Amino acid sequence: MRAPQLRPQLSCVFPAYNEADCLAETIAEWAAALAACTRSFEMIVVDDGSTDGTARLLAGLARETAGLRVITHERNLGYGAAIAHGFAEARFPLACFSDADGQYDPSDLPALLARVDGADLVVGQRVRRADSGLRRLLSNGYNALARLAVGVPLHDLNCAFKLMPRDAFRSLGVTSSDFAVNADLVMRARNAGWTIVEVPVRHRPRRAGRSTVRPAHVLIGLAGLVRLRAGQARVPAPHGST
């Protein structure tokens, strides 16, 4: 396990799809929070084939925002593919990912960083979800099924606020390109013998725009769980273990 770092170097990955109305404020807020709790940082926004002007906005933000890097997918490859691409390009040994819509509060990041020296994967747990009743119902059902499929008793497996060593993520060989990526990651971490901890985090309403998640995505996610359950591939031991 690494020696404790009070002010680490950190890469933050943000998958983005049609988030032009949210991104500028999200990036500004995260940049301020990261400057306050890290020694150095980078923000990697992966524009996953957006069609709403996200690419144009990011080009401008990249010119005026220190530490911001932009990766562009010419077509939509999927949420999981965007996360994996961001981790593949990350420069710093510690990395996290979160959504680009501003629903996660970056002031919760120190709480996750405080746990990373005693864990291989730190997972956020949304304590009060700022979503519609239908969205919460779908998410709760999916989380229950995911816990059964993956075999890890996390309260909020699908929370899009996770922190881990960059190379550890790469070693797992996560293959899910869609919304099953969180279950894929946690399952492989469990199979690798990783220590996984949950940390309560805040959850806020979207700043603007509409969520791109639809009931069809839940079905896609469930299909992904079936594939994961059928595969249950073994993966290498976690970083630094014997």
Over the stretch 157-210, which tens digit does the pLDDT of each residue have?
A: 889 999 999 999 999 999 888 878 898 899 889 889 999 999 999 999 876 655
Q: Contact at 8 Å (CB) between 49 and 19?
A: no
Could you give the 3-state DSSP secondary structure of residue 241?
A: coil
Residues 6+ apart with CB under 8 A from 208: 21, 22
User: pTM for this structure?
Assistant: 0.83
Amino acid 189 reads: A
**What pLDDT was estimated at residue 160?**
93
Query: Phi and psi for 55 in degrees, rounded to 5?
Result: -60, -45
Residues 6+ apart with CB under 8 A from 217: 178, 179
For residue 216, pLDDT over 90 is answered with: no
Greater confidence (132 vs 160) lies with: 160
For residue 7, pLDDT over 90 is answered with: no
Over the stretch 33-48, which tens digit does the pLDDT of each residue have?
A: 999 999 999 999 999 9
Structure tokens at 64: 């005026």
Q: What is the mean pLDDT of the chain?
A: 84
Greater confidence (238 vs 50) lies with: 50
For residue 136, pLDDT over 70 is answered with: no
Task: Count CB neighbours of 101 within 10 A.
Answer: 25
**What pLDDT was estimated at residue 212?**
54
Q: Which residue matches tokens 């220190």?
A: 66
For residue 54, pLDDT over 90 is answered with: yes
Task: Tell me which CATH code domain 9-231 carries.
Answer: 3.90.550.10
Q: Contact at 8 Å (CB) between 123 and 157?
A: yes
Closest by CA position to 45, among listed 80, 16, 6:
16
